[in-house]
Structure 1
Amino acid sequence: MKALIISGAFLFMAGSVFAQHNNVHVGLKGGLNISNLASSPNAGYDAKAGFHAGGLAHIHLNKSWAIQPEIMYSGQGAQNSSTKTRLHYVNVPVQLQYMFDRGFRIQTGPQVGVLAAANVQQGDVKTNVKSSFKTADVGWTIGASYVGESGIGVDARYNYGFTNINDASSVNLYNRNVQVGVFYVFKHKY
């Protein structure tokens, strides 16, 4: 929780400082997650659908480069034939973006996630398993996006978790997540 408050305060302060210049634009985004848990040894998990939603600050450094910090709710996890593992994160990715002409962008950067809740569902029984997972997840993202003149855009990225998030057994678990979504940037300019 402390990391979430610090991250939120950092984004607010950074946005306030840069907002005085004309190179910062804020926006909203959301979309589909297809997540999984990579495991060693292999635990036989399959991908699970979820969603993400939150806000962003698009900060132009110059005509070609930008930094885009975000704060997102992200429903992640995995499933197998008998159970669904749902992990609810507040993720803070910071994307370095290269902007091509007319709205196309490629992006990459670090991401820190704070686990807000975790449960396992087997049949009709749902069990809180937050204590079985580490609170923080650190990873890296890579992706691409397109934003039109209206400020409406589409985004696709892959999130690769570096942290073994399992705190309860010897099985190593790592977040893997594909995100596809839409976003809107207020007062957008190319």
Structure 2
Amino acid sequence: MKKVLLIAAVAVFGLSNVNAQEVSFGPKAGVNFATLTGDIEDADLKVGFHIGGAVEIMFNEKMGLQAELLYSLQGAKDSYSSTQTSGGVTYTDKEEAKLNLSYINIPVLFKYYVTNGFSVEAGPQVGILASAKSEYEYTESIEGGGFDETYSESGEEDIKDNISSVDFGLNFGLGYKLDNGLNFGARYNLGLSNVLDVDGTDDKWHNGVIQLSVGFMF
């Protein structure tokens, strides 16, 4: 948390010293479609969310910077299912595993308004790991031939010690802001750091997150 406050303070101090024509700020929130790329198999999109605030500092009518402080739930999931029938008996197995990674993200984006209200944006992001948990759900069922049985189990494990505490990435996105301050955004976060922090392995995992947001600027 001290690292987060320090980075946020440096960002605010730096942005407060630019020659700004207009400053606006407000809340934002939205949905994440997250996964992990690299040396990882069968990593599917996992739905999460992000929530926080943003400040936009315009240098002129076209160009500006936007800094944000967001809580973001990311990670990936893997689903498996199989069904087999033999002798009138159907065997079904279902399993879903999720890697839930929670970050405090601080993106700083350069914004350029192409037309009135419509903008493109790009810039770096630092993320501080808040929590990391692995969970699974397993169900096995047998039906037919006089059988009707279902077995299920689930579990959760804290794996924060195996995940890097800091994540660096780049954001690329589009935005649209109405005259009343209501705004919408679509962004992709390309993770540059290795998420995995396990001794004895050279595997590398990287965050990849699609974000759809709605916010309001005062």
What TM-score, normalized by structure 2, do the two folds share? 0.79
Aligned residue number for residue 75 of structure 2: 77
Structure 2 contact 187–212 (Cα < 8 Å) conserved:
yes
Matches within 5 A, 1:100-179: 100-123=114-137, 124-168=154-198, 169-179=201-211
What is the Cα deviation at residue 115 of structure 1? 0.4
* Structure with the higher fraction of residues in strand conformation: 2
State the SS of the aligned residue for 1:122: strand
Following the alignment from structure 2 to structure 1, what is the Cα–Cα distance between the partners of residues 13 and 50?
A: 23
Within 5 Å, which residues of 2 pair with 1:50-89? 50-81=48-79, 82-89=96-103
Number of equivalences: 184
Q: Which residue of 1 aligns with 2:3?
A: 3
% same residue: 33
Could you tell me how far 1:14 is from its partner in structure 2?
Answer: 4.8
Among residues 176, 180, 187, which one is paired with 2:212 in the alignment?
180
Report the Cα distance in structure 2 between the residues aligned to 1:126 and 1:170, rounded to whole angstroms: 25
Q: Deviations over 1:38-89 (max 9, x none)?
A: 022x421111000001111100011110100111001000011231000000
Bigger radius of gyration among the two:
2
Equivalent residues of 1:15, 1:24 under 8 A apart = no
Contact 2:20/2:59 (8 A) holds in 1: no
Once the 2 structures are TM-superposed, how far is the Cα of residue 7 of structure 1 from its aligned partner? 1.9
Instruction: Return the alpha-carbon distance in structure 1 between the equivalents of residues 54 and 13 of structure 2.
Output: 13
The residue identity in structure 1 corresponding to 2:60 is N
3-state DSSP class of the match of 2:180?
Answer: coil
Q: Are residues 6 and 128 of structure 1, via their aligned partners in 2, closer, same or farther at CA, if it must alter by over 3 Å?
A: same
Structure 1 residue runs of 5 or longer lacking an equivalent are none
Given that 1:15 and 1:57 are in contact with CA atoms closer than 8 Å, whether structure 2 keeps it comes out as no
3-state SS of 2:8 partner: helix
Q: Which amino acid aligns with 1:54?
A: G
Report if aligned partners of 1:36, 1:77 keep a CA contact under 8 Å in 2: yes
| C-alpha distance in 1 between matches for 2:217 and 2:168 | 26
Give the residue type in structure 2 aligned to 1:52.
Answer: H
Q: What SS does structure 2 have at the residue aligned with 1:163?
A: coil
CA distance in 1, matches of 2:56, 2:8: 16
